[in-house]
Amino acid sequence: MNIVGYGGGTNSTAMLIGLYHRGIPVDLILFSDTGGEQPHTYEFLPIMSKWLSEHGMPEITKVEYTDKNGDRLTLENECLRSGTLPAIAYGYKKCSLKHKVGPQDKFCNHHQPCLDVWAKGERVTKFIGFDAGEEHRRDHAIVYDIVDKKYRKEYPLIDWGWYREDCIIAIEQEGLPLPGKSSCFFCPSMKRHEIRTLYHQHREFYNRAIAIENAALPNLITVRGLGRDWSWQDFVEADKNQTAMCWMFPEHDMPCGCYDGD
């Protein structure tokens, strides 16, 4: 039983392409919808779904986080209700574990083919889309992978020696548009140029991100906003006034667990 946790970004898209051309079977493709994905991700999903159908691969199965009553709870609404920022803003990756990994695990726990594998004492194979430039992410996960009794993790892109550039080439050779970076539109790991693009091209989404930031503001102690050391709103205002010096708005090189390639 082989499953792919599809993020909708460059890496996992290239991985699916590579698996197809190598004749490696894929039985299930899961996409965790946080309700706050980037606009380009939602636009790319039907394009990728069409490619998968044309190549005889499984359709993308969307999963989402639900509360104890079975009602959907998006990450955006969770932040607004609790008056907090996504966990990555505080240096944790709980948001991706809860809203990305959790729903996929819950689905598999009720998916009969997975149950059949586990009933035999075997493990389900899960393909992870870390590219060859991200071996450190795989190395960090190995400690947890070894003791995982349900899943056997494999990292095809690393095994194939595919770096980000190779992933891009593989996608382009299929005639597909590049999917863009996979992340929430209010992810604290977004770079300054991405925030700028969100403001100018997707103002509605930018305003929703600022609503999260403002709702959390009274409760912030160790961070100042979605930029951690600074607020997105302050950055955009300074940027419009051409006073946004880089040293004033430093970027942090800490991709969230949802990171799936630029």
pLDDT of residue 59: 98
d(CA 91, CA 87): 7
d(CA 194, CA 39): 12
**CATH number 3.40.50.1820 given to 2-173:** no
In sequence order, the β-bridge partners of residue 203 are: none
pLDDT of residue 217: 97
Domain spans, the chain: 2-173, 192-248
Q: Which two tokens stand for residue 147?
A: 């003791």
pLDDT of residue 141: 87
- In the chain, which ranges are continuous DSSP H helix? 10-21, 39-54, 75-82, 94-96, 102-109, 112-119, 135-147, 156-160, 164-173, 192-201, 203-216, 232-240
The answer to whether the beta carbons of residues 144 and 26 sit under 8 Å apart is no
The answer to whether the beta carbons of residues 34 and 75 sit under 8 Å apart is yes
Nearest to 61 by CA among 88, 35, 36, 29: 29
pLDDT of residue 246: 57
Backbone phi, then psi, for 40, in 5-degree steps? -70, -25
The residue count of the chain comes to: 262
pLDDT of residue 93: 86
pLDDT of residue 242: 75
Residues of the chain where predicted confidence (pLDDT) is lower than 50: none
Backbone phi, then psi, for 3, in 5-degree steps? -125, 155
Tokens 């930031």 appear where?
213
pLDDT of residue 143: 87
